[in-house]
Structure 1
Amino acid sequence: MTFQELKPKVKEITSNSALSKDEKLLNICQLLNEEIDYYNWVGFYFANQETKTLHLGPYVGAATDHTVIPFGKGICGQVAVSNENFVVPDVAAQDNYIACSFTVKSEIVVPLFVNGKNIGQIDIDSHVLNPFTAADEEFLEFVNLEIAKLY
């Protein structure tokens, strides 16, 4: 399914009043994981500004020990500080990478803004080297704009 075909499905999930916020987030994770071949782990982290930590929210994929990540640590922690998308074509070449699994080859993290404030991020791991393009970034920014409406 193309990104254009997925957009209305994302909107359908976020506008479903029968679902809780966490159910909507989980359903989005499932949709992306099932419909995009190279999205092998899809999840959300949410920021705690007081403790400067990210906390794992709904996700789909292999279990992770990384349920709390300090700002600045790893790709997710760097995005919490930079407020910018981070695409890692090859995690083995990244100095500040927190290894989750030997199967992960690349990662993309896109911050989630609500009223101009970075409240978290969507994090995607892939078992493929360098699969992420500008189209992935644009699509995930769209996803996060839809999610931001829930807050």
Structure 2
Amino acid sequence: MVIINNFEEYKAYEGKLIGVSNWHVINQQQINLFADATHDHQWIHVDKQKAEEEGPFSSTIAHGYLTLSLIPYLWKQIADVRNVKMEINYGIENFRFGQAVPVDSEVQLQATAKSICNLRGTIKVTIEAKLVIKNQIKPAYIGDVVFLYHFNT
């Protein structure tokens, strides 16, 4: 895990891979709980039998937004940004889903610092987030997450 204490330490990662998370298994229980939380019970996600018999993936698949919602959890495994008064999830940009994530797949977040700038004391960080699926060539998605940080002085 990378420890970042201030703007200068963050800036040193600009244009570089910051790191990768641990592998995380997306199981049916997690998919079902996400379906309950979002009221999205489409059969491709929650009906194992129908998904196996009629679905294009021969199994249920994770919701795309479920895989996106893993970013904070997986990001915290990559970087520990310390000495912060406030951290804001500012935006997500240019996300593209490359392929579905079948149930029981292992996924891992790869985080690359695209840009880090100081906007009069507010640090704006754009991270390219790529969710890879174990033993697959194409990622589940790739796109940018934007954070704002206010470091203690």
Structure with greater contact order relative to length (CA < 8 Å, sep ≥ 6): 2
Larger % of strand: which? 2
Report the TM-score when normalising by structure 1: 0.30
Report the TM-score when normalising by structure 2: 0.30
Larger % of helix: which? 1
> Whose radius of gyration is greater, 1 or 2?
2
